[in-house]
């Protein structure tokens, strides 16, 4: 039953009780008033006769029609006040029952504000507006708990990832100062590479944070995604040749009009191509595909590498997730490339995904809103 209906029933009940009391008592009051008036008239007639015969007033002297009317009005007023008081008590009791769940919800909100993110309301099972409010509160609390858990996990992962290059830099520097290592270019290069890795991790963390919070500056325009693909593939051609991997675009004819930030779209596509090149053995191939489907422009990077185990597929876009930790650390990446792709796509109202390719390999895709002409 809705809260509005309950309030309406309470008001109706209060009005019914008040009307019932008045209806039951009014006949007796009216009868009493008529009796007083009749007695007053009889008394008036008796006094007139007594005075005519030289007799004084009788024993009921002073009770005339005016006093009888005043007593009747007073009785009606007392009845009205008593009925209103009774109805107010009933309304107060019922209102207390309605307000009690709001008090519990207020206490839950205070606990949540104090940092108890596991706190939930105990009114969500109700089937009225208060229950709707309780379920919304629980949804908000669960979202806050997930966000806090993700934030804590990110800090822990970031601390872990930053610790590795810092340890290498500290150990190498200490060994040089202690005379264990010679002060040569090889060890200085190690320090430089680890310093660059630290810088990449910090920059990538900032990009992910800004994108996920909606504070990353974006210049979303209608553009031809096919041009972005061709430019990005051309930029990675030397790296592909060095790795012995064939890299090409398969876009078909025509343009791929999408709504996106050109620079960020190229960054996302570059991250997917870089990931594919690092996991594709020499002699393999990486193909960048593009198509328009269901009002979206899909850009996909397909490789014929070893592929991703099925149990790892749901986690590949998580921060610092590594299916092969040693291989990715050796490559000097921050572990945030795919997380950045997802964050940037969602910031531009797009989405990303990955699927396995038979007999082996992976296909990473991102789908962005199509431009007005394409849609």
**Digits of tens for pLDDT over the chain (375 positions)?**
555 566 666 667 667 766 676 666 666 666 665 665 565 556 555 555 554 444 544 444 444 555 655 666 676 677 667 766 766 676 677 667 777 888 888 888 898 888 888 888 888 888 777 888 889 989 998 888 887 877 777 777 777 778 878 888 999 999 999 988 888 888 889 899 889 888 888 888 888 888 877 888 999 999 999 999 999 999 999 999 999 999 999 997 888 999 999 999 999 999 999 999 999 999 999 999 999 998 999 999 999 999 999 899 988 998 777 666 544 445 556 678 899 999 999 999 999 999 999 888 999 999 999 988 655
User: CA–CA separation, 283 vs 197, rounded Å?
Assistant: 28
Residues 6+ apart with CB under 8 A from 279: 303, 305, 306, 362
* Domain 221-369, CATH class in plain words: alpha beta
pLDDT of residue 61: 46
Closest C-alpha to 205, from 160, 158, 164: 158
Q: The tokens of 153 are what?
A: 């996990």
User: CA–CA separation, 235 vs 227, rounded Å?
Assistant: 12
User: CA–CA separation, 171 vs 165, rounded Å?
Assistant: 10
User: CA–CA separation, 33 vs 54, rounded Å?
Assistant: 31
The answer to whether 256 and 290 have CB atoms below 8 angstroms apart is yes
Closest C-alpha to 234, from 258, 265, 270, 280: 270
Q: What are phi and psi of 58, to 5 degrees?
A: -75, -175
User: CA–CA separation, 317 vs 76, rounded Å?
Assistant: 78
- Record the pTM: 0.61
* Domain 150-213, CATH class in plain words: mainly alpha
Q: The tokens of 130 are what?
A: 């208060």
Q: What are phi and psi of 144, to 5 degrees?
A: -65, -40
pLDDT of residue 25: 62
First CA to last CA distance, the chain: 45
What SS3 state is found at 84? helix
Residues 6+ apart with CB under 8 A from 372: 222, 257
The answer to whether 362 and 351 have CB atoms below 8 angstroms apart is no
Helices 337-347 and 185-213 cross at an angle (nearest 10°) of 30
Closest C-alpha to 130, from 156, 97, 177: 97
Closest C-alpha to 2, from 129, 124, 122, 134: 129
Q: The tokens of 137 are what?
A: 């509160």
Residue linked to tokens 């940092």: 115
């Amino acid at each position: 039953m809705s809260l509005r209906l309950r309030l309406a029933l309470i008001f109706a009940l209060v009005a019914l009780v008040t009307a019932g009391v008045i209806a039951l008592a009014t006949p007796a009051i009216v009868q009493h008033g008529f009796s007083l008036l009749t007695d007053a008239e009889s008394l008036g007639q008796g006094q007139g006769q007594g005075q005519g015969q030289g007799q004084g007033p009788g024993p009921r002297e002073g009770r005339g029609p005016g006093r009888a009317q005043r007593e009747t009005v007073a009785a009606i007023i007392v009845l009205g006040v008593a009925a209103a008081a009774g109805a107010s008590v009933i309304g107060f009791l019922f209102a207390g029952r309605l307000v009690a769940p709001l008090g519990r919800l207020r206490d839950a909100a205070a606990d949540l504000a104090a940092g108890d993110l596991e706190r939930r309301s105990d009114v969500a099972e109700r089937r009225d507006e208060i229950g709707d409010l309780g379920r919304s509160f629980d949804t908000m609390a669960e979202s806050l708990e997930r966000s806090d858990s993700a934030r804590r996990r990110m800090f822990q992962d970031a601390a872990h990832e930053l610790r590795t290059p810092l340890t290498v830099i500290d150990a190498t520097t200490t060994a040089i100062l202690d005379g264990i290592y010679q002060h040569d270019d090889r060890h200085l290069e190690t320090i430089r590479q680890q310093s660059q890795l630290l810088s990449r991790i910090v920059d990538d963390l900032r990009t992910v944070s800004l994108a996920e919070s909606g504070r990353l500056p974006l210049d979303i325009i209608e553009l031809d995604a096919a041009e972005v693909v061709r430019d990005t593939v051309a930029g990675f051609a030397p790296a592909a040749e060095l790795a012995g991997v064939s890299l090409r675009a398969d876009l078909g004819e025509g343009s791929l009009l999408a709504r996106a930030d050109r620079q960020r779209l190229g960054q996302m596509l570059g991250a997917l191509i870089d990931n594919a090149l690092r996991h594709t053995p020499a002699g393999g191939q990486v193909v960048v595909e593009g198509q328009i489907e269901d009002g979206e422009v899909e850009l996909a990077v397909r490789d014929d590498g070893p592929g991703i185990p099925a149990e790892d597929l749901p986690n590949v876009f998580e921060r610092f997730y590594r299916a092969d930790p040693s291989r990715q650390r050796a490559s000097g990446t921050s572990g945030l490339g795919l997380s950045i792709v997802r964050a940037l796509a969602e910031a531009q109202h797009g989405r990303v995904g990955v699927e396995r390719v038979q007999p082996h390999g992976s296909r990473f895709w991102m789908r962005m809103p199509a431009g007005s002409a394409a849609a």
